[in-house]
Chain A
C-alpha cells in the first residue's frame, strides 16, 4: 500500500549546508495495516508524515501509495493523490472555525474531484458519536468532540491511508483511549491503513507493529535539531 524506497530529505541551513532529516532505504505499510511510529522529539516523525502526504517533497527516492510514486508527480498530481488516497488527523485537530462539524467533514471530500456526499458525512459523524452535533461550530464542541470531527473528516474521502500525528496529545487521559479506539475501529471498518505517530507508550502498546523512526532512518535521531 505504502512503500518508501531510498527516501532522503534534508533542510537548508543558514550557512548554506544541508541538514539531513530522513534517509530511509526501505519502509512499507500494507493494506489495512495499523501501526505506530515512535521516536524521540525532533527525529523527523512529522517530516516523514508530511513527506508521505506530499506536503513536503522528498529530495530523492520513491514514495508509492497504492502503486503511485508521488515523487514523480507534479504538485497538482500530488494534491490529487492526497485528496483521494490520504486522510490526515492533526494533533491540534485543525478544524476550520467558520464551518460546522458537518461542513468540516464535507470539506474532506471537497478537493478529491469525487461526489460530495452529505449522507456519508452524516454517517461518519454518527459513527464518531456526533449525530446530534452536526451543525455545531468547533468552538461549541469539546476537545474530544473536535478530534472526533477531525477523524470523520480524515475518512470522508474514503482514503487508503490515514496519517495521525499525535492525535491524543491534546486530549485528556479519559478520552485518549476512546479516540484511539475510534480511529482504529473506523479504519478497520473502512479498510484504511493507519500510521499513528505517538509518544504515549500506552497507545503504542496496543499495536502489534510499532516502528521506531531511529531504526528505519539511517540518519541518527540525535543529529537534527528540534524539528517537530
Chain B
C-alpha cells in the first residue's frame, strides 16, 4: 500500500464530499484557463494586428492613439486629412512624377510652356500682350475651371525624389470616411495587397479567397473596383427580388434608375434585383410610385413603353419571390458618405476580390481604388476660390450669385460622379487620411521626429502605440480577472480544507489504527497533505479539461470574431497553465497543513478505542 493508494482510498471513501470539493476546484481552474485563453486569443489577435508590415503611420496633427485606432483598427473618426502632395514626398522620383501627371501644377507648367512659346512666337510676329492673354486664357480655363494656374515652372514638384522617398521602402495612402453597412470603406492603392507583407515572420501578404486585387484602372470597371474583407463578405446579406418583368428593357432601365441595387440580371425567367446594402424592398416601390406620381403631375415625361413598364412594375404580383444571399464578386456596392447611415454615393464600385480571413482588422473593411474614391461626390478637396474682395474682376458676388455658383459646383461634381469613365482627380484636389510607411528601422525614429517637428503632419509608431493601448486597456482587466480566478481557486482550496478538516473527527480512528500499525506522525501528516494535493490536482485536471473543452466549443465563435484559430490546446498559454501545477500543489499544501497538523497531533491511545 503506497501513500498514494491510501490517500486515494480516503478520497474515494468520502466520494460525494470529495467530488464536490474537486468540482469547486475545477470551477476555479476552468475560469483560470478561460481567462488565460481569452488573454492568449487577445494577445494573438494583438500580435496579428501589431504585425502590420509597416512601421510608421503618418496622418494629420492630433492624437497618436486616434491616428492608430483609426488607421489600424478602423475605429474612431479620422482626425483630418493631409495633402496628397505630402504623400508624394514619400515616393521616389518615377512614381512621384507619374502621380503628378494629372496635377494642376503639371497642367500649369504645360500652359506656362505654351505661353512662353507663344511669347517667343509673338515677338517674331509682333503681337501684343493682350492678344497673347486672349489666346492663353481659354486654354487655361479649359484645363482648370476653378483655379488660377501657377504661372511658373513647378520645378519644386517635378523632377526629384520626394523628401523621404529614398528612405521609404513602401508608402501606402489610405482615404477614410465612407462606410459600407457598418464596415469602413478604405480608399487605397493596389500596393496594400500587392506589395505589403503584413506578417513579416511568416512572409505573408493578404491573400484572396476569391477574385483578385483591384487595379489602378481596369478596362471593365475603370477606377471603380473594390475588394471585401472576409468578415464583410460573410456578414453582409443582400435581398434579391425576383420580378416578373423578364425581357422588359424599359422596366429594367426604370429599376436601374430608381433602386439602389447591387446587381441586376435575368435568371429563371425573372428580372433579379439584388438590392444594395441597407435598402428595403419598400424603398424601391416607394421610389417607383413617386415616379408614377411625377409622371401623372407632368413633372416627368414617360413614353408609352416606360409607362407600360412602370405599370408592370407596380403590379401587386410583380415580385415572384424573394431570396437572400451574401455579397459576392460582381456585385456593385455604393459607399455611404461620412457615417454608416450617411447618404449613398451614386458611384458604385464592383467587387472584384474577397480576402481570406487574416485575423487583422482588414477582415472588417472594404477596400476601394483610391482613384475611384476621389471621384466620388464630396471627396475632392474644396478648392479655394478667389474671395470676392480679392477677385480681380467686378464687385463681390451677391447671395443669389453665390447660390448659383454652389449649384454649379454641385452640378459639375455630379457630372464627374455620373461620368462613365471620368478623368482622375488632379493631385491638388486630393487628400489622404493616413500614409502607411515601411522604412528601415534605422531611419524610423528619425523620420518620425522629423515629421512630428513639421507643421503639416504627425507620425506615429503603431506597434508602440498599440502596445501602450493594449497594456492600458487589457492589462489591468486581465490582472483583475486573473486575481478573481485565483481568488476562486483559493476559495476552492479552502473548501478542500473544510472537507478534510470536517472528516478528521471521523478519521481519527483510522489515523490511530495506522499509527498503531507503525505509521509515524510524519507519515499520517504526509498522507493528509497528499490527499489535499490529489483533491486539488484532480480538480485542477478536471477544470483544465473543462476549460479547454469550453475553449474548443467556443473556437468557431472566437475564430469568426477574431480570426484567431484556437484548438483544444493553445500553445501560447500552455507555459502559463503549467504554472497551475506547482501553484495548486502549494495551495493544497497550505490548506492541507491544518488538518495534517491535526492528524499529526492525534492521540493514538484515546482515538484507538479498544
Chain A residues in the interface with B (C-beta under 8 A): 46, 50, 53, 55-56, 75-76, 79-80, 82-84, 86, 88, 90-92, 94, 96-99, 103, 106-112, 116, 153, 157, 165-166, 169, 228
Contact = CB atoms under 8 A, between A and B. Distances in A.
Nearest to A96: B510
> Closest 7 A-B residue pairs measured CB to CB?
A83-B518, A98-B13, A111-B518, A91-B610, A79-B520, A110-B1, A106-B1
A55 B516 contact: yes
A80 B518 contact: yes
Contacts of A109: 1
A88 B609 CA distance: 13
Interface in B521-557: 521-523
B608 interface: yes
Contacts of A91: 609-610
18 contacts: A50-B605, A80-B518, A82-B516, A84-B518, A88-B516, A90-B608, A90-B610, A92-B610, A94-B516, A96-B9, A98-B9, A103-B1, A107-B514, A107-B517, A109-B1, A110-B517, A116-B2, A153-B517
B222 interface: no
B519 A83 contact: yes
A107 B609 contact: no
Interface residues of B, number: 27
Contacts of A82: 516-518
A166 B518 contact: no
B10 interface: yes
A80 B521 CA distance: 11
B505 interface: no
A111 B517 contact: yes
Contacts of B512: 94
B509 A157 contact: no
A120 B577 CA distance: 44
A114 B9 CA distance: 22
A80 B513 CA distance: 15
Given A108-B517, A111-B514, A166-B610, A94 B523 contact: no
B12 interface: yes
Interface of B: 1-2, 5-6, 9-10, 12-13, 509-510, 512-523, 604-605, 608-610
B515 A96 contact: no
A157 B1 contact: no
A94 B519 contact: no
Contacts of A97: 13, 510
A166 B1 CA distance: 27
A169 B609 CA distance: 13
B504 to A, nearest CB: 15
Given A97-B13, A103-B1, A103-B5, A76 B520 contact: yes
Contacts of B5: 103
Contacts of A83: 517-519
A131 B180 CA distance: 82
B530 to A, nearest CB: 13
A204 B610 CA distance: 19
A96 B605 contact: no
B610 A165 contact: yes
B6 A75 contact: no
A207 to B, nearest CB: 20
A79 B2 CA distance: 18
A150 B608 CA distance: 14
Contacts of A106: 1
B529 to A, nearest CB: 17
Contacts of A96: 9, 510, 513-514
Contacts of B10: 98
A29 to B, nearest CB: 19
A153 B1 CA distance: 12
Contacts of A92: 609-610
A80 B605 CA distance: 17
B520 A46 contact: no
Nearest to A79: B520
Given A91-B610, A94-B509, A98-B10, A79 B515 contact: yes
Contacts of A166: 610
Contact of B513 (A94, A157, A165): A94
